Amino acid sequence: MTDEELKELIESISLDAFGKPFIHIARFNKRLRTTGGRYMLSTHSIEINPLVLEVHGTEELVGVIKHELCHYHLHIEGRGYRHRDADFRDLLKRTSSPRFCRPLTEGNKRVYSMYVYECASCRLLYKRRRRMDVRKYRCSKCAGEIIALLAVK
């Protein structure tokens, strides 16, 4: 889908769902990473992440477009266009627009190493993401010596 086809789709959705025209710029933006789309307050343009169409298909794309059009029309009218505003939430419900975009990638979660330490006296466990020098620290419960148990990647 090209930017021109995207603009035509947004114009038709705007007329069908909102009964108002969309007269500004619409384009795909490959640099968007964590969001499905965004509405630019200064230029009134709408940018859509092309991954929405590739990963989830046309139905999710239409949902993201409706969401951004809610921002667009409310901002143009001078009403509450932010996510926390009642006007915005009401318009989302009336147009059956999604509040959030489905995740675009599965690999967003970081994998941390886990270090486990134990007090030699009272057996209290300490779980840490960072390695610690056991010679510098003592147990917070009994002041006993701390020993390293294992490091899990």
Q: Give me the active site residues, please.
A: 68
d(CA 136, CA 134): 5
In this structure, the strands spanning 114-119 and 146-152 are antiparallel
Rg (CA), the chain: 25
54 Cβ neighbours under 8 A, 6+ residues apart? none
61, containing H or E segment? helix 58-77
65 Cβ neighbours under 8 A, 6+ residues apart? 9, 10, 13, 37, 46, 48
d(CA 144, CA 46): 61
DSSP 97: -
For the record, the structure tokens of 100 come out as 């959030």
